Amino acid sequence: MGRKRKEAERRQETIQVWTYDQARRVLPYVASIMRSLREHRLEAQKQRLTAQRLASRPGRPGRQGLIAQEQCVREAREAEERFQEALEELHVLDIYCLDAIQGLALIPFAQEDQLAWYVFNLFESDGLQFWRYHQDPLETRRPIAPTPAAPTDGNSVIV
């Protein structure tokens, strides 16, 4: 029983929580990063698919085919590296990408002394229209009230 408690203590992590106003002010930066994440993810997928198609052509590949396939693999790897760099930019802010292609990110805040998340949507004009508690299923979307409660200590929450 003591072992489980130690494992749980090691997994605890302190993250910055945002007020609604802080989250609104950071939205242009988050939108920029999310656009980059989406572009890099789509580019990586495109290049991997092209490489797979080149590899699955019937017959023995020629020199040009091998070069083209290798170039696609290299470009996919480079796009994935750029994706990881952009993802790290979000993580520094304690903001997490939920789905890069759909443009969804989670911004942490505290609601009723519980960890909750603003759901950022790149394709919504407002960007922040919904939120969810940490324990809610990922699909849960609660409409944002005009002024959600601020975090109790204003800076962080332990998860």
pLDDT in tens, 118-154: 999 999 988 899 999 999 998 999 999 765 454 444 5
pLDDT in tens, 72-97: 999 999 999 999 999 999 999 999 99
CA distance 69 to 50: 8
Please give the Cα distance from 51 to 69 (Å, whole number): 5
The answer to pTM > 0.85 is no
Neighbouring residues of 151: CB distance < 8 A, sequence distance ≥ 6? 17, 19, 109, 110, 157
